[in-house]
Amino acid sequence: MIIVLKKNAGEKEVDNIRKKVETLGLGIHVSKGEERTIIGVIGDESIIRNQPLAALPCVEKVMPILKPYKLVSREFKPENSVIDLDGVAIGGNKIAVIAGPCSVESADSLLEIATGVQQAGATCLRGGAFKPRTSPYAFQGLGEEGLKYLAEARQKTGLKVITELMDPRDTELLVKYADVIQIGARNMQNFRLLTEVGQHKKPVLLKRGMSSTIKELLMSAEYIMSQGNYNVILCERGIRTFEDYTRNTLDLSAIPVIKELSHLPVVVDPSHAVGRWELVLPMTKAAIAAGADGLMIEVHNDPGNALSDGTQSLLPAKFANLMNEIKTVAAAVGREI
């Protein structure tokens, strides 16, 4: 059960509810959002079902939520969430385009790519400084040096910066440098990491695990939100199936399904889904047609020599072409790019 307090409710009102709930042998979890405070009741809800909590003057509504994810659900918030990155919105009518290299490799190449994607219309720059690589011998990322290059590129281009956090010990560093913290597919169920980013207000882009169900993705988002961070963006990046022609299989139906179940914005990453640059454009079009709120696309100035994911990376000119081609699809579904 969730108790949503009115905007003007303060500590006194929360304490009052805490006492009432605790006398019944239940616990509470208080989430203080920028807008309002939400109290989650922990324990056997049936004990409290007949208590007239909704009649308290500080209470806006009391919601029994049957689904295991609550703060994430459409029942909890019927209107779409828009995550504001200080001037760039993810989740509104305009489709947000995030583009950049898989890994940050050098200051010069990052700036060249960032300038290219910005001129083509992207509003956010992606680039990994801490890379989750299958092989321990593969390039692991530049660490803090990479974060500094991202910050420099932001300063020169005005793009917002998205980069991946793999280790809770690096959280403060990422909070300092990034506009959005990415939690990668391999860490979607790293609950310690989710709890950690939940304790900050920094927006989080949560990627779906390659073998995770939509429900599991939503439960992971609930971990972050239950800590008080409501700035969550979900990302479909392809799942593992028997098909091996593509790197993964882009689960297009996840887009309308998530939008039915949740108010959170959905970004689609066609690059990691298909693993081949030639397939990025058609799947980007399909993602827009299916209702994606944003796109994450890998772009590299020299894909043949990229330190990671060159085969799925578009040259800046190809990315510019993609940006042109998707306009008509966006317009056909009433969206803007």
Q: Choose, by CB under 6 A, the member of 64, 132, 158, 282 that binds ligand PEP.
A: 132
Residue 132's binding partner among ligand PEP, Mn ion, none (Cβ under 5 to 8 angstroms by kind) is ligand PEP
- Give the residue with the Cβ less far from ligand PEP, 70 or 237: 237
DSSP secondary structure string for all residues of 18-45: HHHHHHTT-EEEEEE-SS-EEEEEES-G
CB of 177 to ligand PEP, least distance (A): 16
d(CA 218, CA 254): 11
Instruction: Tell me the helices (H) and strands (E) count for the chain, helix number first.
Output: 10, 14
309 binds Mn ion (CB under 5 A): yes
Paired residues of 160 in beta bridges: 124
Contact by Cβ (8 Å): 117, 101: no
Which of Mn ion, ligand PEP, none is residue 142 near (CB under 5 to 8 Å by kind)? none
- Of the pair 91, 184, the CB lying nearest ligand PEP is at 184
Stretch that binds ligand PEP, among 82-90, 104-112, 144-152, 178-186 (CB under 6 A): 178-186
Nearer to Mn ion, 223 or 277 (CB): 277
Continuous H helices in 121-164: 144-157
- Which one of Mn ion, ligand PEP, none interacts with residue 48, CB within 5 to 8 A by kind? none
Distance (Å) of CA 118 to CA 95, 162, 203, 319: 15, 14, 21, 11
Cβ-based nearer residue to ligand PEP, 104 or 320: 104
Q: Report in angstroms how near the CB of residue 310 gets to ligand PEP at its nearest.
A: 13
- The pairing of strands 96-100 and 59-63 is unpaired
Residue number with the shortest CB distance to ligand PEP? 184
Q: Do 202 and 233 meet the contact criterion of CB atoms below 8 Å apart?
A: no
**Spatial separation of the C-alpha atoms in residues 118 and 257, rounded to whole Å:** 31
Region binding Mn ion by CB under 5 A among candidate stretches 98-106, 191-199, 257-265, 276-284: 98-106
Kindly tell me which residue out of 116, 184, 198, 303 binds ligand PEP, with binding defined by CB under 6 A: 184
Does the protein bind ligand PEP through residue 185 (CB under 6 A)?
A: yes
Contact window for Mn ion (CB under 5 A) among 152-160, 230-238, 302-310, 320-328 = 302-310
Question: What is the nearest approach in angstroms of ligand PEP to the Cβ of residue 172?
Answer: 21
Residue nearer to ligand PEP on the CB measure, 164 or 293: 164
Nearer to Mn ion, 179 or 269 (CB): 269
Look-up: residue for tokens 């910066």? 161
| CA dihedral (153, 158, 164, 168) positive or negative | positive
C-alpha span between 181 and 160 (Å, rounded): 11
CB-based contact 264:258 (threshold 8 Å)? yes
In the bound state with Mn ion, the residue whose beta carbon lies nearer, of 170 and 309, is 309
SS3 content of the chain, % helix, strand, coil (to 5): 40, 20, 40
Q: Which residues bind Mn ion (CB under 5 A)?
A: 102, 309
